[in-house]
Amino acid sequence: MALILAGAAWGPVAHSGVPAVAPDEALALIVHKSNPVENLTWEELRKLCMAERRQWPSSRRVTIVLREPAQPEREAVLKQVYGFTEQEFNRFFLQGTFTGEVQSAPKQLATALGVRRFVFNVPGAIGFVRVSDLDDTVKVVRLDGKAPTDAGYKLRVPAK
């Protein structure tokens, strides 16, 4: 079995040239190109996502954008960043909105293209897309000093 570069992730390939098993893939953290943030710690990312920190250092309001429910990218973010199931996530934001602790729940979009376009158009937005879905319209933020293609990068969409 040989290894080839498929998109931006290494994966095992059978002799036929077809991937033997779909590998997990890094989930890039993206922001608007004008956002001066280059790196976030895991704790800073969690605070942004949990609405404990609502503004960027530039004073722009943070807007989280996720894929729709049941999408692997969303499930990865809910599990790894929030530590929630879909039901716990919905309850957290419903209660937070009701009590006024949260201004609004994260935006939900159907496609990676939609997430990228939203981040491109909203300077305070932060989203999550697979490395294979990246383009130059958005900026990738390092997580704990690591780029999505670095060994040890934490945020990943598990292989099914």
Using CA atoms, how far apart are residues 18 and 109, in angstroms rounded to an integer? 30
Q: What is the mean pLDDT of residues 1-25?
A: 44
pLDDT at 24 (0 to 100):
87
Q: Residue 118: its pLDDT value, please?
A: 98
For each of the domains in the chain, give its residue range(s) and CATH number, in order of start. 23-157 (3.40.190.10)
| pLDDT tens-digit map of 91-150 | 999 999 999 999 889 999 999 999 999 999 999 999 999 999 999 999 999 999 999 999
- Confidence grade of residue 160 (pLDDT, cut at 50, 70, 90): confident
pLDDT for the residue 93: 95
| Closest to 119 in 3D by CA, of 136, 144, 132 | 136
What's the pTM value of the predicted model, to 2 decimals? 0.84
- Give the whole-angstrom CA distance, residue 81 versus residue 47: 10
The DSSP code sequence of 37-57 is: --EE-HHHHHHHHTTSS-B-T
pLDDT in tens, 40-64: 999 999 999 999 999 998 899 999 9
What does DSSP say about strands 25-31 and 156-157: parallel, antiparallel, or unpaired? antiparallel
Token couple for 36? 């001066």
Q: Are 51 and 63 in contact (CB under 8 A)?
A: no
